[in-house]
Amino acid sequence: MNDGTFASLLAAVEQYILDHPPISLHHLHARHRILRRGPFSLSDRLLVTVIHHRWKTQHQALTRLLGSPRGAVSDAIHEMPPVLEGLDRRIRPAPITAPTAHDLTNLIDQSNIKNWTNLSAASWPGKRP
């Protein structure tokens, strides 16, 4: 998922929440948790949900990496799927998993190294051809 894809998903989620009052998002709760204040913005909640569902990252690992209360991570992971279902959007699991904080940081590091090595010398600012 690139920045443009995440931004369009976030915009769709924001519009869905505006179009559907939060009380109707989940049939098991009289008032949906998305209305509660907490340490996460809507984009943070969506990002945590995507990471958890895509790479099977555990709540504890996300809590440690983000330095946030475990309840906030759990709330985000539980409150966003009904919104995504309402949009007919599904987070596809990745072919690899990163269940622990160590696994996730390794995955991020490998991604950064891959992107770093794909840069051409011409793309460096100040580099003369």
* DSSP result, 59-109: HHHHHHHHT--HHHHHHHHHHHHHHHHHTT---PPPSS---SHHHHHHHHH
Averaged pLDDT score across all residues of the chain = 77
- Rounded to whole angstroms, the Cα distance separating 27 from 74 reads 18
Q: Is residue 107 very low, low, confident or very high in pLDDT (cuts 50, 70, 90)? A: confident
- Rounded to whole angstroms, the Cα distance separating 110 from 104 reads 10
Greater pLDDT, 123 or 38: 38
Judged on CB neighbours under 10 Å (0-12, 13-18, 19+), 52 is buried
Contact present, 90 and 84 (Cβ < 8 Å): yes
Give the model confidence (pLDDT) of 52-81 as tens digits. Answer: 999 999 999 999 988 888 888 998 898 899
Q: Report which of 47, 45, 52, 49 is spatially closest to residue 99, judged by C-alpha positions.
A: 52
Angle between helical axes of 42-55 and 59-66 (0-180°, round to 10): 140
How far are the Cα atoms of 9, 49, 120 from residue 90, in angstroms, in the given order?
Answer: 11, 11, 35
